[in-house]
Amino acid sequence: MIRMVNVKKLNGELQEYDPAKLRVSLKRAGADDKHIDNILSDVNKILYDGVTTRKLFKFVFSQLKKCDPKTSCKYDLKNAIMRLGPEGFAFEEYIGYLFKHLGYKTDLNQFARGQFISHEIDVIAEKGNERLMVECKHHKEAWMGTSIQIALYVYARFLDVKKEFSAPVLATNTQFSGQVMKYAKGVGLRLLGWRDPKGSNLALYVEKFKLYPVTMLDTLSKEDLKNLLRNKIILVETLAAKSEAEVVKVLGISRQKAKKVHDQAVALCPSCKLS
C-alpha cells in the first residue's frame, strides 16, 4: 500500500513520512529487525496527514519500550540530552567528557585574559598544538536552532582571547541554521551539533563512546536526577562504576530502588560494572 502522508516537523515544516528513515533511527538505537517490522506496521495504523513528529516519536517510543525496554532509552537519546538542562552546567560537563574521549586534556569554567577583558571559558580542550576554546550552548527545546547571535559572540570572544587559543568551537545539542554554518565556515569557527557536521557530531560521538547521560535512565525520578547532576554525576558509566551502596548514599533512596537504577546503568554500560 503506497500512500503519501506528511509529517509536521517541530519547526512547523511538512515533510513526507519516510519509513526508511524511521527504520534507520530504530536500528541505530539497537532494535532488531523483527521489532522494527512490527513497529513500522503499527505506525501505519495510526498515521494521518499532518501528524506531528513529536506524536510519532511518542508512539514509536512507547511501542519500543513495550518490546525492547533497553533499546528504547537509546532511542530517546536526543531528548535525554535535552533533559541535561536547563542550567547548562551539566551540558558543559558532558561536552568536557566528550573532548576527553577525543584525547584532549580538558579544563572547565576557567577564566582567560583577553586583549580587553577576561572571559569565562566553558571548556578548554588541549591536545598537541591545539588549544580549543569551547563554548557550550544547551537548548531545552529541540526546535531551537542555534542563532547567528550566538555564533557571532563566540567568534568575537575568541578574537579577544586568540593569543591563548588555536580555534573556537561552538557546541550545542540541537542543529545549526544555514546562516550559522556559512558564517562559521567563513571565520573558522568549529561547530559541534546534534547531527552536524557529518562525521564528527554529538549523536555520533554519543554512540561511539557510549557517552550516555544519566537523564536516559527512566528508573530515576526527576528529584533523583537533579541530585545526580548536582553531584556532577552526568554519565551513566559513572553511575555504573559505583556500587549499589554508593548509589543509595548519593541519592538517599532505598536499597531496592538503587538496585533498579544500578541495573539499568550497568545494562547500558556493561563494561563499567565494578568487579
How far, CA to CA in Å, does 195 sit from each of 26, 174, 201, 264?
A: 16, 8, 5, 26
Shortest Cβ 101–a second copy spacing (Å) = 29
Cell reading at 36: 522494527
Shortest Cβ 88–a second copy spacing (Å) = 13
Residue 124, strand partner residues: 107, 133
Burial grade of 86 (CB within 10 A; 0-12, 13-18, 19 or more) = exposed
Shortest Cβ 96–a second copy spacing (Å) = 21
DSSP 2: -
**Which residues are at the interface with a second copy (CB under 8 A)?**
115-117, 119, 148-150, 152-153, 155-157, 159-160, 179, 182-183, 185-187
Shortest Cβ 82–a second copy spacing (Å) = 22
Which long-range contacts (C-beta less than 8 Å, at least 24 apart) are formed by 248-255? 251/224, 251/227, 252/227, 253/224
Shortest Cβ 196–a second copy spacing (Å) = 17
Residue among 118 and 254 whose Cβ is closer to a second copy: 118
Residue among 74 and 137 whose Cβ is closer to a second copy: 137
Shortest Cβ 271–a second copy spacing (Å) = 40
Residue among 24 and 156 whose Cβ is closer to a second copy: 156
Burial grade of 30 (CB within 10 A; 0-12, 13-18, 19 or more) = middle
Residue among 115 and 256 whose Cβ is closer to a second copy: 115
Q: Is the dihedral of CA 93, 72, 248, 270 positive or negative?
A: negative
CA 250 – CA 215 distance, rounded (Å): 16
CA 107 – CA 76 distance, rounded (Å): 29
Residue among 139 and 157 whose Cβ is closer to a second copy: 157
Residue among 110 and 254 whose Cβ is closer to a second copy: 110
